[in-house]
Structure 1
Amino acid sequence: MDSDPEFPAEEPANLKFLRRLVTTLTATMIVGLVVMITLVVIRLNGATPQLALPDYLTLPDGTRATAFTQTPNWYAVVTDDDKILIFNRDSGELTQEISVNSRP
């Protein structure tokens, strides 16, 4: 069997197909990984979503809610200026305002 190094033997069709399949799958996995990393980065760098409060609660002007909790008798809203606002659940009126000193 004479083999010329300048002209290698032709590959079988199955081997060509397998090589193309592996290359395509590798490229697909790389693209998918890049897309997933991009989506995670976009999601983590996104702005904090606005907190949805019940329609009948109105916050004082210039405050923004950062947390919300409720009980059978009252709602509590934590604002971005370190205050806890307690609202009556039945009337929706502000009943108490608590200042929280977050700095030691």
Structure 2
Amino acid sequence: MNDTPQPPSVDPKMVRYLRTLVTVLTGVMILGFLVIVALFVTKFSGASGPALPEEITLPDGTTPTAFTRADGWYAIVTDADTILIFDETTGELRQTIDVTAD
């Protein structure tokens, strides 16, 4: 009496097909990884950031807390709740805005 189950027979064509699928998937994953690395290198290699002024002269007694830049001007937010808007080319103070809480 033989009670041990026999393993199913393996089809060689199916094994070859699965081996080909795994090989193709591995190649696609490696190629995708290389494309992602290339995109990161090209994106971040020449990133120099926005052009910032060399020097900013603030009124006496002010401490900057934030900086923002737009086309033709930049602004400094101070710890005294004021926004100082400067001309980008000359560096002169254009406008002072007092921020008040509601």
- For Structure 1 versus Structure 2, the TM-score category normalised by the shorter chain is 0.3 to 0.5
Q: What is the TM-score with the length of structure 2 in the denominator?
A: 0.45
Q: What is the TM-score with the length of structure 1 in the denominator?
A: 0.44
